[in-house]
Structure 1
Amino acid sequence: MTTTEKPESEALATVRARRGYVLPVHELLDEVSPEILARYDALTAELLFAEEPRALDLKTRYLVLVGVATAAKNDPDGIVYFGKRALKHGASRREVLEAIALSGLPAGMPTIEAATQVLDRLFDEG
């Protein structure tokens, strides 16, 4: 039995165009409701991708997300993703490491230990 793929919704196409990729959460929300995905994408775009002057610049926003992804304890891909973007927007290696280290205060030292497992992926040149 073959399944046919449904065409990409406008909401999913917008996510792909804005980010250059689609995550599993985007596909799930799109399947549940393209309208929910569109609203989620609009919120993310406003909080993270907006280029208008914000209190936090993009580098700082990504550093905050590095700490949150580290504290979440189950998001090694987020540590790498947000860390690479922080570096792209001017963060130093030490700033990224400090964001990881700070997550140990509210979330415990095991979060830092877990994050060390992805540092090679974070700081690779590729």
Structure 2
Amino acid sequence: MTDNTATTTEITDEEALARVKARRGYLLPVHELMAEVDPQILRKYDDLASDLLFSDQPRALDLKTRYLVLVGITTAVKGDPDGIVWSAKRAVREGATRREVLEAILLSALPGGVPTVEEATHVLAKVFDES
């Protein structure tokens, strides 16, 4: 049996973190944990996220819409106020209006429940105060 993992270039945890920070401009605790446990997983995770979120390649959804989807998801999954802030700021930067961001949050009430919307609106107020 042949080991196919040798075809992937091995990177260190420091290299993996540096690559994520250079691409995104920030690091999250999950990035640091992945780098510590397995830098190759962080590299693959970052490649996927970067391809979906940060790529200029044409997609069916434009960047604004992708970030609005993330606003709704980070609201619905509860407990991710940083994700709400991050994705809402990105959506606004890509041209989303306050109403569009609010609608993305309101849509999350269907799978996440009204308490998720209430929590997210407190977070959203901070985003709009900063912009």
TM-score where L is the length of structure 1: 0.90
Quote the RMSD (CA, aligned, Å). 1.4
Q: Distance in 2 between matches of 1:115 and 1:37?
A: 28
Partner of 1:24: 29
Deviations 1:69-126 (A, max 9, x none): 0001111111111000000000000000000000001111111111122122211236
From 85, 89, 97, give the equivalent of 1:84. Answer: 89
Alpha-carbon shift at residue 42 of structure 1 (Å): 0.5
Post-superposition offset of 1:36: 0.9
Map 1:27-66 → 2, pairs under 5 A = 27-66=32-71
Structure 1 pair 69–59 and aligned structure 2 pair: CA distance change class (3 A): same
Match of 1:113 among 100, 118, 130: 118
Q: Secondary structure at the match of 1:9?
A: helix
Equivalence for 2:7: none
Normalization by structure 2: what TM-score? 0.87
Gaps of 5+ in 2: 1-11
Match of 2:75 among 70, 79, 85: 70
Q: Which moved more, 1:33-42 or 1:8-17?
A: 8-17
**SS of equivalent residue, structure 2 residue 130:** coil
- 8 Å Cα contact 2:21/2:27 also seen in 1: yes
Deviation at 1:8, TM superposition (A): 6.2
Unaligned runs of 5+ in 1: 1-6
Q: Which stretches of structure 1, 4 residues or longer, exceed 6 Å deviation after superposition?
A: none
Question: Using the alignment, how far apart are the partners of 1:26 and 1:105 within structure 2?
Answer: 30
CA distance in 2, matches of 1:116, 1:90: 19
What's the counterpart of residue 4 of structure 1? none
**For the residues of structure 2 that align with 1:125 and 1:70, how far apart are their CA atoms?**
19
